[in-house]
Amino acid sequence: MDMDSTSGLYPLHRSKTIHLVRHAQGIHNVIGDKDYKAYMSPDYFDAELTPLGWHQVENLRKHVHASGLAKKIDVVITSPLLRTMQTAVGVFGGEGYTDTVDALPLMLANVGNSARSAISSLNCPPIIAVELCREHLGVHPCDRRRSVGEYQCLFPAVDFSLIESDEDVLWKANIRETREELAIRGKKFFDWLWTRKEKEIAIVTHSGFLFHTLATFGNDCHPLVRKEITKHFANCELRSMVIVDKSMLGSDSSTTDYPGRIPSGPDTPSDEKIANDKPVSGST
């Protein structure tokens, strides 16, 4: 019998919905997208968002609220670089911060010379910084991060507890991570997601990380579906996808499956059996 190979079927509790976001336009993108050598400039160390980038953040924020996505996301994972964290808190953070409230802001005012007001940590998902989803490591100053201590001052309510080293020990001035190494790190990041209990996760990261990681997926799909998965992200683009745990990496149990036969016990006779067992009229 021919089997339909165009569809896949997996238990719901072995899947997560992820919302992938590339950071908004950074100062390094303005020239770097035209001249790749510009990424070597020390002027772009840990590049911040441009004014245009902040407008892109505002528009994506409007979209995630209008679509209802803002209420669905359980956690936001962000690369611990200035441009990704600015994008993460700007898109998914709370409304305007007031210092009369007893809660730390996600971001202080004017971080990265942004002329932006502080951003509240209320009524929004937690935001966690994770090293695994950083951009290509090494050589390019724009991809080098500051110390965690400095970031904690700028982004007080962002969770940096998963970052092991205060200083950036991963970035090397003369060694650039290969595409293959980046893809392996990306796969490791996706596997790490299965250690999280959250089912709907926003991830704010980088063009290179997304392109080389997603290129490892979709080989069993129609070419147009694979193209949807692997094409380059524009600044502040969001794409929603589903990942499936095929290898029992996660340990979540289903919240919707129901085992049946509760209560258990001997079966009640069927209507047909009851009908056949009716006594004949007039018999004793």
- Residues taking part in catalysis: 23, 135
Question: Which runs of consecutive H residues, i.e. helices, occur in 67-131?
Answer: 69-72, 82-92
Q: Beta strand pairing status for 75-78 and 127-129?
A: parallel
CA dihedral sign, ordered 180, 194, 161, 72: positive
Record the tokens describing residue 268, joined without a space: 């009640």
Question: Which candidate, 164, 169, 113, places its Cα nearest to that of 145?
Answer: 169
Residues 24/49, Cβ–Cβ less than 8 Å: yes
Other residues' Cβ atoms within 10 Å of the Cβ of residue 184: 15
Query: What is the C-alpha to C-alpha distance for residues 144 and 78, in angstroms, rounded to an integer?
Result: 15
Record the tokens describing residue 231, joined without a space: 């094409």
Burial class (CB in 10 A: 0-12, 13-18, 19+), 31: middle
Coil, helix or strand for 6? coil
Question: Which candidate, 188, 83, 87, 93, places its Cα nearest to that of 145?
Answer: 83
Other residues' Cβ atoms within 10 Å of the Cβ of residue 162: 13
Helices (H) and strands (E) in the chain, counts: 9, 5
